[in-house]
Amino acid sequence: MEKLQPNCSYHIFNHANGFENIFTVDDNYRFFLDKYQQYSLPIAETYAYCLLPNHFHLVVRIRRKEVIEEVYRNFKSTNFSKVPNFGKVENSGKVEITDNIIEQFISKQFANLFSCYTQSFNKVNKRRGSLFLKNFRREPIENKAYFLNAVIYTHRNPVHHAFCDRYTDWSYTSFCEIKERNSQMIEVEKLLRMFGGRDSFIDLHEQSANKFRESLIADL
């Protein structure tokens, strides 16, 4: 499994462990997004998300190493007993934050998100055991075209899995937040610049939706 690296982009996704749903009521979706902002947003710029009843998708760029080091130091100062020192001690007495620590911390923040959500879900639903697949998937995004396609794919996922007829109808994606330029979580302006502006962002999503509808008609 590839390790998440600073200053690199990824398509992250995970599925329910088995045939259960991981989101069953609106409060589940909201709670997951709230915990995402707590655990993952500090270490990952977020460009798109989609939460579906049995799985989710994220398009992220892990923040620069210097930013993550600062997040780690702040986290360690408030969670001293939970964060071990893996680094070397410098002459100043400070612990050198190695690449290994950074990689572990990045993955741990996502693991904490899934663990926290699972514990809450299990308590409310009186269940036990894992909720997500053990290893969340992460695909490196190595060029702009792949990045833009990953964003569009993420927003169109509810239609792809037949949860709704129009991707704009699904409440738990970032599309409308980006379209309205109103989000506490998404790097809206950076993303729109990558698409060439708001109008282009909307048009490319519509073109993709039209191609999908045409393919369905062709299969009839």
The domain that contains 131 carries what CATH number? 3.30.70.1290
Q: Which of the four pLDDT bands, split at 50, 70 and 90, describes residue 180?
A: very high
Position 18 pLDDT exceeds 70:
yes
Out of 37-41, 86-90, 209-213, pick the least confident: 86-90
How much is the pLDDT for 42? 96
Q: Which of the four pLDDT bands, split at 50, 70 and 90, describes residue 124?
A: very high
Percent of the chain with pLDDT over 70: 86
Pairing state between β 9-15 and 55-62: antiparallel
- Is residue 1 situated within a structural domain? no
How much is the pLDDT for 215? 44
Q: What is the mean pLDDT of residues 140-146?
A: 95
Position 164 pLDDT exceeds 60:
yes
- Is residue 121 situated within a structural domain? yes
Q: How many residues in the chain?
A: 220
Strand partners, 46: 60, 186
Position 216 pLDDT exceeds 70:
no
- Is residue 87 situated within a structural domain? yes
Q: Is the whole model's pTM more than 0.75, yes or no?
A: yes
Task: State which residues form the domain around 206.
Answer: 9-219
Position 203 pLDDT exceeds 60:
yes
- Is residue 135 situated within a structural domain? yes
How much is the pLDDT for 145? 94
Q: What is the mean pLDDT of residues 119-147?
A: 93
HEC secondary structure over 126-160: CCCCCCECCCCEEEEECCHHHHHHHHHHHHHHHHH
Out of 26-30, 160-164, 186-190, 208-212, pick the least confident: 208-212
How much is the pLDDT for 1? 66
- Is residue 2 situated within a structural domain? no
- Is residue 3 situated within a structural domain? no
The whole-chain average pLDDT of the chain stands at: 88
Percent of the chain with pLDDT over 90: 77
Q: What is the mean pLDDT of residues 155-166?
A: 93
Angle at which helices 198-219 and 144-160 pack, to 10 degrees?
50
Residue predicted with more confidence, 209 or 62 = 62
- Is residue 4 situated within a structural domain? no
Strand, helix or coil for residue 100? helix
Out of 7-11, 110-114, 190-194, 210-214, pick the least confident: 210-214
Asked whether 136 and 12 are in contact (CB, 8 A), the reply is: yes
